[in-house]
Structure 1
Amino acid sequence: MSTKEHGNRKHFYAGFDNGYGSVKLQIDDHSLVRIPSYISQEDMEDVAGRVVVDGKAYTVGESAYRSGATFNANSDHNDNKINNAKITLLGAIAHLPYRRSWELKLVTSLHDASLGDRLKEVLEGEFNPILAGKESTVKVEVLKVVPEGMGVLVGRKLPERLTVLDFGNGTTLYSRYFKGKREVHTPYPNGVQSLIELLTVAMKPLNGGKLGIPAKIRYALENGHTKYSSQIDFKSVYLTTVKDWLSQSLRQPLEQATESKHEGDEVWCIGGGCLLPGVGKLLEKKGFILLENPVDANVNGLLALAKKVG
């Protein structure tokens, strides 16, 4: 959508999901930005995702990976979802058509909402970054920080009894609701990243005895295939490894959701893990419901919530 369509408008509502695996930003009347949560400090051109702020230069997203150089990811450390939030937000904005001034009223989410004040402190304020080579002013007001996955409830007709499983990159979240009120919210430390770590070892026989590179495995899976390189396809080890991951690493949340279903809950599944080859079919076989567009369901709800509370 072109900048002209917004005229002189400065204020926009926004939903921001700073995930371990990918960053999702949905600004009202703009296209969704979904980018890998990679941050490079290498010297690069003024590409989409290029940010200069506080005297330092970063590239956020796909170009950070494509640089072939060292980069950081949210998945590298639990605190990165908070510590990197300003950089990844600005990097996401730097993928949109340029505006001289942005004023965002924003709702975001976090796996542990008790840390919401810390996240708000990082995100909120007025910044003067250079975005993809052009000077800009970005003002951010954080309206609310909600538990991850909660955005999916906004604007949907909810069953009286509901369980939500959110298959994220760093965590798998089990949440239970009765008449729209949350009863339980349990983050489990194993997400898609733990599958990727298992695959780095499992593919050694295919990779000349060397461990696989996590970023290359993630890149393949995010693009819906198992081609590690032009020479190596890890499909054969993936099929075995993903079964072990589900039965061992994700045993607790899956068993809890199965019991919830037995007790009369609808079980909704969201998050990028739903889209892994073979996983969706297995979840549906258990009688769980895969929501349409499961990766963006949370961020779309965060935007709707921003409009509601703003």
Structure 2
Amino acid sequence: MSNIHTLQKIFPAGFDNGYGSLKLLVDGNDIVRVPSYISTADMEDVPGRVIFNGSAYTVGESAFRTGYHFDRNTDNNENKVNNALLTLLGALAHLPQRRAWHLKLVVSLHDVGLAEELKQVLNGEYQPILAGKLSDVKIEILKVVPEGMGALFGHQLPKKLTVLDFGNGTTLYSRYNQGKREVHTPYPIGVEVLIDDISQKMKHLNGGKVGDASKIRYCLEIGHTKYSRDMDIKDVYTACLKDWYEKYLKKVVNLTLDAKHQGDEIWAIGGGCLLPGFKKLLEKNGFHILDNPVEANAFGLLEMAKAIMNKNPTSTFGR
């Protein structure tokens, strides 16, 4: 990790405000990857704690640990835009404290038709208290790109390529020809659909109660099926994964396999790739799974921000 100069104030950054987890990568810092939860519960100055415009809230792991949340990105399609400033400040509140941040951001969004709205929400100058310390934060959006595009940045792309991005809220199907995108279709059949199904079908293990979606996601992200110390949901998970695939994913996977038949290479990204047992199924079907499929998009977004700044070092605020 490069040592950043203490006087540095302007930072290129990539922001992936995902349905299930948000990823913020600021140049010279470790990536922040935390659940997309916002809690208004009273807390001390934990990572993710923000006081802003007279309100206090916490973003990320600590919000999950309270046991209840007032908002999740995945609860509403518009939350990725409406909550973007809250979640971005919450992500910054996980990084070492700085008196001033000027972020030049490239952001990914499932629907780039909402790019102007997202810019209106994010662009500006703010004075939040981040994890107990006052900070001047200036945010400048350099570019809004379709979700998953960051993961391809810097890769030598094959002439014909089809990419499936298995996200929490959506599964994105994209086709590229000579590096130009031809198709970008979001299907509302992300991992959340699978998690909801598991929560309903595990009642017999859980004293007749619906399972907690956050706890299910947490164990699956770690790569196992232990819902709690004394409850393994492996059988329920296996049955639900099969259902999810047959009912929802088969169509889009078959589209991708048709593209392979037409000479495309097929790649997979997104957190869904890492679901227990799912990666093997994808690889068996000929998918190339990108390294670090969960965070690859954020790393590419940062590289895009650096490239834009190098090309146009005098970019002005609000452009």
| TM interval, short-chain normalised | over 0.9
Tell me by how many angstroms 1:246 deviates.
1.1
Mark the runs of 5 or more structure 2 residues left unpaired by the alignment.
310-319
Tell me by how many angstroms 1:225 deviates.
1.4
Of residues 61-70 and 38-47 in structure 1, the stretch that sits farther from structure 2 once superposed is 61-70
Mark the runs of 5 or more structure 1 residues left unpaired by the alignment.
none
Quote the residue 1:82 is aligned against. Answer: 81
Give the distance between the partners of 1:110 and 1:227, measured in 2 at CA: 32
Percent identity for Structure 1 against Structure 2:
62
Quote the residue 2:223 is aligned against. Answer: 224
3-state SS of the aligned residue for 2:226?
coil
Quote the residue 1:59 is aligned against. Answer: 58
Measured at CA, do residues 71 and 227 of structure 1 come closer, stay the same or move farther in structure 2, by a change above 3 Å? Answer: farther
Give the distance between the partners of 1:147 and 1:5, measured in 2 at CA: 30
Q: Deviations over 1:169-215 (max 9, x none)?
A: 00000000000000000000010000001101111111122211111
Tell me by how many angstroms 1:6 deviates.
2.0
Quote the residue 2:117 is aligned against. Answer: 118
3-state SS of the aligned residue for 2:107?
strand
Q: Is the 8 A contact 1:106 1:142 kept in 2?
A: yes
3-state SS of the aligned residue for 1:246?
helix
Give the distance between the partners of 1:139 and 1:149, measured in 2 at CA: 26
Tell me by how many angstroms 1:22 deviates.
0.3
Give the distance between the partners of 1:128 and 1:33, measured in 2 at CA: 21
Give the distance between the partners of 1:68 and 1:286, measured in 2 at CA: 39
Quote the residue 1:258 is aligned against. Answer: 257
Give the distance between the partners of 2:72 and 2:30, measured in 1 at CA: 23
Give the distance between the partners of 2:232 and 2:68, measured in 1 at CA: 23
Give the distance between the partners of 1:309 and 1:294, measured in 2 at CA: 24
Quote the residue 2:307 is aligned against. Answer: 308
Give the distance between the partners of 1:257 and 1:279, measured in 2 at CA: 16
Give the distance between the partners of 1:122 and 1:70, measured in 2 at CA: 22
3-state SS of the aligned residue for 1:170?
coil
Equivalent residues, number: 309
Q: Is the 8 A contact 2:41 2:57 kept in 1?
A: yes
Is 1:276 the counterpart of 2:282? The answer is no
Tell me by how many angstroms 1:160 deviates.
0.2
The two structures have a TM-score, normalised by structure 1, of 0.97
Give the distance between the partners of 1:163 and 1:145, measured in 2 at CA: 21
Q: Is the 8 A contact 1:82 1:122 kept in 2?
A: yes
Give the distance between the partners of 1:155 and 1:68, measured in 2 at CA: 40
Tell me by how many angstroms 1:275 deviates.
0.4
Quote the residue 1:22 is aligned against. Answer: 21
Quote the residue 2:182 is aligned against. Answer: 183
Q: Is the 8 A contact 1:90 1:131 kept in 2?
A: yes
Of residues 268-277 and 149-158 in structure 1, the stretch that sits farther from structure 2 once superposed is 149-158
Measured at CA, do residues 70 and 79 of structure 1 come closer, stay the same or move farther in structure 2, by a change above 3 Å? Answer: same
Q: Is the 8 A contact 1:64 1:71 kept in 2?
A: no
Q: Is the 8 A contact 1:172 1:187 kept in 2?
A: yes
Tell me by how many angstroms 1:251 deviates.
2.0
Matches within 5 A, 1:153-168: 153-168=152-167
Q: Is the 8 A contact 1:167 1:192 kept in 2?
A: yes
Q: Deviations over 1:76-133 (max 9, x none)?
A: 1111100110011011111010000000100001111011101111111001000000
User: Considering only aligned residues, what root-mean-square deviation do their CA atoms show, in Å?
Assistant: 1.1
Q: Is the 8 A contact 1:65 1:71 kept in 2?
A: no
Tell me by how many angstroms 1:223 deviates.
1.7
Tell me by how many angstroms 1:71 deviates.
3.4
